[in-house]
């Protein structure tokens, strides 16, 4: 059984995804605890939230003032602070061993009926929960980036995930004004299983001289009605993130998911996309 009444949500990780999840949870009226391993990471998460709320306020996309929303979020470096949370969402490094360690700590800290969600984009929910006493309460709750803007949330059901945990995940996402779809616990789920080869093929087309990068992106945007072409989207996701996801899928699913050579070369050069100011395109400081 998992608890049905959710008032306080814990978020493990204050990076891009963690801070975004904390923001939308607070915007949805929940009390939030956002945790990271160092105080400077927590403060960086709050700065990202401040900037995001400011942008949304300027677009008249907020029903409450930013200070009210921000006031619902408490920062911490102490995992024990999740002891009174009703739901915890993990959004740490996309590494199976790291996530397993986090979930082992959460199982120790949280009551047995507290649902535990992971924001993983490629890793197996079943594997993350494998060593836990209560794997039935572990669910994938994969938010899209940037979390405050993107409407979709992918609910991923592990081998032992209960129907109650699955239903709760859909309900919480919908409470946050997100639209859900459900995926089985297969590599990449729906989104990245299809998205990563699409991005890699766009990179290969550019590397092989099929067209200029702008023409590749325009061709996909205008020809298939997507909002952003593969090269620009890769820059926004982060080329290192794309490479890691592609390598995970390649290991699980074989050569059709092999990362493009140019993607590897860009990451090795430190050109990771928008976050470093240069990827396939160049970006001025924002």
pLDDT at site 217:
98
DSSP-derived secondary structure for 228-248: S-HHHHHHHH-HHHHHHHHHH
Checking if the pLDDT of 61 tops 90, the result is no
- Please state, in angstroms and rounded to a whole number, the distance separating the CA atoms of residues 261 and 225: 27
- For the chain, the domain total comes to 2
User: Looking at the structure, do residues 231 and 96 belong to the same domain, yes or no?
Assistant: no
Say which residue the tokens 């890691």 belong to. 244
pLDDT, tens digit, for every residue of 67-118?
Answer: 999 999 999 999 999 999 999 999 999 999 999 999 999 999 999 999 999 9
pTM for this entry: 0.90
pLDDT at site 189:
96
pLDDT at site 97:
96
User: Looking at the structure, do residues 173 and 237 belong to the same domain, yes or no?
Assistant: no
Cα Dmax for the chain: 56
Neighbour tally for 52: CB within 10 Å: 20
Does residue 2 sit within a domain? no
Does residue 282 sit within a domain? no
pLDDT at site 63:
87
- Decide which of 157, 184, 211 is a domain's last residue: 184
pLDDT at site 35:
98
| pLDDT, the chain, mean | 96
User: Looking at the structure, do residues 164 and 31 belong to the same domain, yes or no?
Assistant: yes
User: Looking at the structure, do residues 178 and 102 belong to the same domain, yes or no?
Assistant: yes
pLDDT at site 27:
97
- Decide which of 167, 184, 201 is a domain's last residue: 184
pLDDT, tens digit, for every residue of 196-255?
Answer: 999 999 999 999 999 999 999 999 999 999 999 999 999 998 999 999 999 999 999 999
User: Looking at the structure, do residues 239 and 131 belong to the same domain, yes or no?
Assistant: no
Does residue 284 sit within a domain? no
Domain CATH number, residue 51: 3.40.50.720
CA gyration radius for the chain? 19
- Decide which of 163, 184, 205 is a domain's last residue: 184
pLDDT at site 286:
52
- How deeply is 111 buried, as exposed, middle or buried, from its count of CB atoms within 10 A (0-12, 13-18, 19+)? exposed
Q: What is the mean pLDDT of residues 250-270?
A: 95
Domain CATH number, residue 215: 1.10.1040.50
User: Looking at the structure, do residues 156 and 204 belong to the same domain, yes or no?
Assistant: no
Query: Binding-site residues, please?
Result: 13-18, 36, 94, 99, 121, 145, 275
User: Looking at the structure, do residues 207 and 160 belong to the same domain, yes or no?
Assistant: no
Residues noted as catalytic? 121, 142, 154, 192
Q: Is residue 224 classed as helix, strand or coil in its secondary structure?
A: helix
User: Looking at the structure, do residues 166 and 218 belong to the same domain, yes or no?
Assistant: no
Asked if 182 and 166 touch (Cβ cutoff 8 Å), the reply is yes
Give the up-direction half-sphere exposure of residue 104: CA atoms within 13 A in the CB hemisphere.
9
Containing domain of residue 41, as a range?
8-184
Query: Binding-site residues for NAD(+), please?
Result: 13-18, 36, 94, 99, 121, 145, 275
Q: CA 194: distance to chain centroid?
A: 16
User: Looking at the structure, do residues 36 and 99 belong to the same domain, yes or no?
Assistant: yes
pLDDT, tens digit, for every residue of 135-167?
Answer: 999 999 999 988 999 999 999 999 999 999 999
pLDDT at site 249:
94
User: Looking at the structure, do residues 141 and 174 belong to the same domain, yes or no?
Assistant: yes
User: Looking at the structure, do residues 170 and 254 belong to the same domain, yes or no?
Assistant: no
pLDDT at site 285:
65
Helix (H) or strand (E) holding 181: strand 179-184
Query: Is the link from the previous residue into 172 a cis peptide, with omega within 30 of 0?
Result: no
Does residue 285 sit within a domain? no
Asked if 197 and 34 touch (Cβ cutoff 8 Å), the reply is no
pLDDT at site 230:
97
- Please state, in angstroms and rounded to a whole number, the distance separating the CA atoms of residues 77 and 75: 7
């Amino acid at each position: 059984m998992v608890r049905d009444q959710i008032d306080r949500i814990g978020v493990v990780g204050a990076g891009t995804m963690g801070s975004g999840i904390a923001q939308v949870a607070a915007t949805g009226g929940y009390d939030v605890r956002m945790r990271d391993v160092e105080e400077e990471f927590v403060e960086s998460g709050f700065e990202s939230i401040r900037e995001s709320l400011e942008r949304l306020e300027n677009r008249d996309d907020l029903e409450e003032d930013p200070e009210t929303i921000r006031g619902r979020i408490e920062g911490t470096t102490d995992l024990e602070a999740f002891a009174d949370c009703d739901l915890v969402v993990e959004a740490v490094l996309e590494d199976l061993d790291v996530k397993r360690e986090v979930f082992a700590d959460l199982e120790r800290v949280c009551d047995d009926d507290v649902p535990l969600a992971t924001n993983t984009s490629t890793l197996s929910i079943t594997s993350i929960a494998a060593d836990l006493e209560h794997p039935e309460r572990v669910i994938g709750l994969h938010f899209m980036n940037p979390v405050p803007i993107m409407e979709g949330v992918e609910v991923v059901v592990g081998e032992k995930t209960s129907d109650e945990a699955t239903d709760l995940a859909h309900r919480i996402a919908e409470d946050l004004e997100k639209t859900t779809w459900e995926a089985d616990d297969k590599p990449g789920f729906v989104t990245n299983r299809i998205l990563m080869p699409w991005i890699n093929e766009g990179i290969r087309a550019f590397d092989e001289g099929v067209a200029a990068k702008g023409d590749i992106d325009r061709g996909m945007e205008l020809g298939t009605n997507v909002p952003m072409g593969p090269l620009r989207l890769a820059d926004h996701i982060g080329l290192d993130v794309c490479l890691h996801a592609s390598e995970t899928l390649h290991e699980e699913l074989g050569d059709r998911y092999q990362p493009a050579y140019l993607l590897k070369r860009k990451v090795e050069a430190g050109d990771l996309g928008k976050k470093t100011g240069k990827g396939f395109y160049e970006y001025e400081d924002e």
